[in-house]
Amino acid sequence: MKILVLNCGSSSLKYQLIDMEDESVLAKGLCERIGIDGSKLTHRPAGKANYEIETPMPDHKRAVELVMEALMDPEHGVIASSDEIGAIGHRVLHGGKEITQSCVVTPHVKDVIRECFDLGPLHNPANLIGIEACEAAMPGKKNVAVFDTSFGMGMEPKAYRYAIPDKYYDEYGVRRYGFHGTSHDFVSHEALKYLDLDPEKGKVIVCHLGNGASISASIGGVCVDTSMGLTPLEGLIMGTRSGDADPAVVQFITNKEGWTVDDTLNVLNKQSGMLALTGVSSDFRDIEAAMNEGNEKAQMGMAAYVHRLVKYIGAYNTILKGADAIVFTAGVGENGPTVRRMVCEYLEFLGVKIDEEENLKAYGKQVVLSTPDSTIKIAVIPTNEELAIARDTLKLI
Ligand code: ADP
């Protein structure tokens, strides 16, 4: 069975075709600038030359048609006909209070995705467009929605409720949802297996450190707490997002600048985080290069990033009453030995010990960093959200 995985953004569409026999990626690619001048499809078939075309894509429906043409192309394709595709798995950002797990798309599921447009204004509309584009391009095939918020639905009220009047939860669904759920779910379950932990009781902290960053605590793969909130703005310092800040900062800046609340939130989402603190970049490769040249703002920014991260690790270690493992994943977590080393140095007082040689060698692969006598296991486990979506899709059909 082959599963097509789609991740639609407002003007982009990422895809992977996965053969579930051996979970190999047959082809992957990206449509960019959908609905804008200069639309482009980049198609990367396994074992064949990559191929790029610039052609108008007025909407996601056309993008899906082009993806299908690329997948079936006699030269660059990997399948003979769309009959070979068993189902389509879609990444969907927000499922609101109602949806707690992945589900086959029905009219009701589409209604829920639509009702959550205000909770995920950039992503949910695009996700729904992607689903409807597949329904039109491949009638009769099952579509499965895999929600970024599902993992966080495992939390108890004491973790997900904000201490604000009930009305806002009851009427508007204001609560902690958590995002990167597909990644936290995948990596925490991989950690239970890879680190030989009790599948029911293993206590894992996952640090998903990409451009966006979040951390979760789970027991037996069930989420106990996670750092992102109603939106992905809360929690860790990220590439361009501030993470935690006194909510009154919003009112204060809005009044001082004579802005709207949206203007201020735009700054907190897009012009803050490591970009603002370092004055260099939101990308850790640039930041590390600047640190090595003695740039003091870059060094302070990195120190602040690690400070926030270990603050959360400390809190989650307490909530879990002692974690069995701390796992690093996503761009920075998988490829950033400096951040990993700085974090683990803080944890030495708990008896955490890592092998620095292993740490320096660990780039994008599964590896245990801790020494056998470390009190908490430390590991790098690459995330694979597409595979997680494909596995859920296969399970549901
Ligand atoms: P996204 O949240 O966009 O999915 P990724 O998980 O792909 O992000 O992570 C992207 C980030 O990973 C980049 O912004 C960069 O900071 C970081 N990164 C990638 N490679 C390295 C590296 N070799 N060293 C340090 N950081 C890296």
pLDDT tens, position by position, 323-354: 999 999 999 999 999 999 999 999 999 999 99
Question: Whose alpha carbon is nearest atom 27 of ligand 1?
Answer: 332
- Whether 148 is catalytic is yes
Strands 203-209 and 325-329: parallel
Q: Amino acid identity of 317?
A: N
Q: Helices (DSSP H) in 138-283: which residue ranges?
A: 157-160, 166-172, 181-194, 248-257, 261-270, 273-278
Q: Give the pLDDT of residue 94.
A: 95
Q: CB pairs under 8 A, 24+ apart, for 296-302?
A: 301/274, 301/277, 302/278, 302/338, 302/339, 302/342
Q: Amino acid identity of 20?
A: M
Q: For the chain, where do the domains classified as CATH 3.30.420.40 start and end?
A: 2-147, 196-380
**How many A from CA of 282 to the centre of ligand 1?**
9
Q: Give the pLDDT of residue 360.
A: 96
**How many A from CA of 249 to the centre of ligand 1?**
28
pTM of the model: 0.95
Q: For the chain, which residues score pLDDT lower than 70? A: none
Return all residues near 391 (Cβ < 8 A) that are at least 6 apart: 20
From the number of C-beta atoms within 10 Å of its C-beta (0-12, 13-18, 19+), residue 257 rates as exposed
Q: Give the pLDDT of residue 122.
A: 83
Q: Give the pLDDT of residue 10.
A: 82
**How many A from CA of 325 to the centre of ligand 1?**
22
Pocket test for ligand 1, best of 122, 208, 285, 360 (most atoms within 8 A of CB): 285
Phi, psi of 143 (to 5 degrees): -110, 135
- Domain 196-380 sits in CATH 3.30.420.40: yes
Task: Tell me how far apart the alpha carbons of residues 367 and 327 are, in angstroms, rounded to a whole number.
Answer: 10
Q: Give the pLDDT of residue 241.
A: 96
CATH number for domain 2-147, candidates 2.130.10.10, 3.40.50.450, 1.10.275.10, 3.30.420.40: 3.30.420.40
Task: Tell me how far apart the alpha carbons of residues 190 and 193 are, in angstroms, rounded to a whole number.
Answer: 5
**How many A from CA of 111 to the centre of ligand 1?**
34
pLDDT digits (tens, 9 = 90+) for 149-180: 999 999 999 999 999 999 999 999 999 999 99
Sheet holding 85-92, edge to edge: 51-54, 40-45, 24-32, 13-19, 2-8, 85-92, 142-147, 103-104
Question: Whose alpha carbon is nearest atom 25 of ligand 1?
Answer: 336
Q: Give the pLDDT of residue 364.
A: 86
Q: Give the pLDDT of residue 97.
A: 92
Question: Whose alpha carbon is nearest atom 21 of ligand 1?
Answer: 335
Pocket of ligand 1 (CB under 6 A): 210-212, 239, 283-285, 330-332, 335-336
Q: Give the pLDDT of residue 115.
A: 96
Please answer whether residues 116 and 96 qualify as being in contact, where contact means their C-beta atoms are separated by less than 8 angstroms. yes
Token pair for 181: 């759920």
Question: Whose alpha carbon is nearest atom 19 of ligand 1?
Answer: 331
Q: Give the pLDDT of residue 229.
A: 97
Residue with tokens 């604000």: 164
Task: Tell me how far apart the alpha carbons of residues 339 and 249 are, in angstroms, rounded to a whole number.
Answer: 28
**How many A from CA of 309 to the centre of ligand 1?**
16
Active-site residue (options: 148, 225, 324, 392): 148
**Nearest to residue 49, comparing CAs of 78, 69, 82?**
78
